[in-house]
Amino acid sequence: MIAIGAFSFVRLFGRAKDLEDQERERRSYLNRIGRIVDGQVLEIVEKASGEASATLSFFGKRGSAEKQKAPSRKMLLYTYSISGVTYEAAQDITGLEEQACLERVVAGQPVGVRYDPANPSNSILIADDWSGLR
């Protein structure tokens, strides 16, 4: 019974870190292998997550009294074209705001988009040590 409880705890609370690690690895991969193409900023959106839905207690029961305020996320929407195909994408830049210098970013601004040549829809504007913002 303890093993099931421990597994559930890790599964519920360990997932957010896993998603952040996956995104960091994706940015690192694109920064290594990606090609750069001209693009354009569409807009910056601050997505307020609001309250999370009912949370699971340690024993798996849903409790509506323990609602948590999820942090807001900053999304940078952009567009770029490769071989006549236009892509619209968004990147969650939460945690990368210092590299982004958001006070200088405006809609219509030209940017460098780094994309995966094998999958052009996989792209980034900002990585931990690279920025396509001009």
Record the pTM. Answer: 0.72
* Residue pair 38/112 in contact by the 8 Å Cβ criterion: yes
* Residue pair 89/78 in contact by the 8 Å Cβ criterion: yes
Q: Give the range of the structural domain holding residue 83, as residue numbers without chain letter.
A: 2-131
List, in sequence order, every beta strand (DSSP E) within 15-118: 35-47, 55-56, 62-63, 73-82, 85-92, 110-116
**Distance of alpha carbon 122 from alpha carbon 104, whole angstroms:** 25
Question: For residue 33, which amino acid is it?
Answer: I
- 22-49: per-residue pLDDT in tens? 999 999 999 999 999 999 999 999 887 6
Per-block mean pLDDT, blocks of 10 residues, the chain (134 long): 55 67 95 98 84 45 53 92 97 87 91 98 96 92
Instruction: Report the chain's terminal Cα–Cα distance, integer Å.
Output: 55
Number of domains, the chain: 1
